[in-house]
Amino acid sequence: DTGVSQDPRHKITKRGQNVTFRCDPISEHNRLYWYRQTLGQGPEFLTYFQNEAQLEKSRLLSDRFSAERPKGSFSTLEIQRTEQGDSAMYLCASSLPPYNEQFFGPGTRLTVL
Amino acid sequence: DQQVKQNSPSLSVQEGRISILNCDYTNSMFDYFLWYKKYPAEGPTFLISISSIKDKNEDGRFTVFLNKSAKHLSLHIVPSQPGDSAVYFCAASAYSSASKIIFGSGTRLSIRP
């Protein structure tokens, strides 16, 4: 399967713990996006990378969130000191020029107890 | 400020009939519009798109119509099939904004026998 993959698919953690998610984009896609989706809403943009450079971060991405894409391939999203409000589906997408269409992974569902 | 609005949270259509999903947007900078389909526990799947230079795009049973003056787009599915039951997200992007996608809140389509 050559689609976008995300790991883990589900994560349950206690408030205050740190969590890290991984995204592997489609191999030749140089842009990688992170989105967050809460119940009853559409996905909301968090941040994106072009190759290894993080070019934009949403105001939704608080200081507790950090994302990396060290070699321009896979990306990680870390949430420190998780809060119950962080419970959501975290989606990763990748794209090729002209970047109009993004292809999404299955998401990581985070539950913070 | 919701830039992409889907005012119908749900829609029920009889199998074989036409399904029409509607979407409104407010940002005149959007130049590309997309529809994604989402099944439970999966990421959004790209369905069909349209550039702002067109007013119609067709792909098999799916047609998207764009009315720029009204800032309105719609997705037509003909004929509707049971496998079309899913949540449909209308989305828009602007090349000037790195093509990050702004999603509506979704419409749950149910196809009844």
pLDDT at A52: 93
Read off the pLDDT of residues A5-43 as tens digits, 9 standing for 90 and up. 999 999 999 999 999 999 999 998 999 999 999 988 999
Q: Could you tell me the pLDDT band of residue A100, with boundaries at 50, 70 and 90?
A: confident
Q: Quick one: average pLDDT of A59-75?
A: 92
Tokens coding A72: 């321009």
Q: What b/e string do you get for A1-35 counting C-beta neighbours within 10 Å, with b at 16 or more?
A: eeebbbeeeebebeeeeebebebbbbeebbbbbbb
The count of C-alpha atoms lying within 13 angstroms of the C-alpha of B58, restricted to the half-sphere facing its C-beta, is: 3
Task: Say if A74 is an interface residue toward chain B (CB within 8 Å).
Answer: no
pLDDT tens-digit profile, chain B (113 residues): 689 999 999 999 999 999 999 999 999 999 999 999 999 888 999 999 999 999 999 999 999 999 999 999 999 999 999 999 999 999 999 877 767 889 999 999 999 99
Residue of B12, B66, B13 whose CA lies nearest to B35: B66
Q: Do A100 and B99 touch (CB under 8 A)?
A: yes
Q: Could you tell me the pLDDT band of residue A2, with boundaries at 50, 70 and 90?
A: confident
Cis link prior to B113 (omega < 30° from 0)? no
The count of C-alpha atoms lying within 13 angstroms of the C-alpha of B25, restricted to the half-sphere facing its C-beta, is: 28
Q: Could you tell me the pLDDT band of residue A1, with boundaries at 50, 70 and 90?
A: low
Strand A75-79 versus strand A19-24 pairing type: antiparallel
Nearest to B32 among A43, A100, A104 (CB): A100
Strand order in the sheet with B62-67: B4-5, B19-25, B72-77, B62-67, B56-59
Nearest to A42 among B51, B89, B100 (CB): B89
User: In B, which residues are within 8 Å of A41 by CB distance?
Assistant: 105-106
Query: How distant is the Cα of B108 from the closest Cα of chain A, in angstroms?
Result: 10
A interface test, pick of B5, B45, B49, B100 with most A CB neighbours within 10 Å: B100
Task: Say if A46 is an interface residue toward chain B (CB within 8 Å).
Answer: no
Q: Could you tell me the pLDDT band of residue A97, with boundaries at 50, 70 and 90?
A: confident
pLDDT at A101: 86
Nearest to B43 among A44, A95, A104 (CB): A104
Q: Both ends of chain B: CA-CA distance in Å? A: 38
User: In B, which residues are within 8 Å of A56 by CB distance?
Assistant: 98, 100
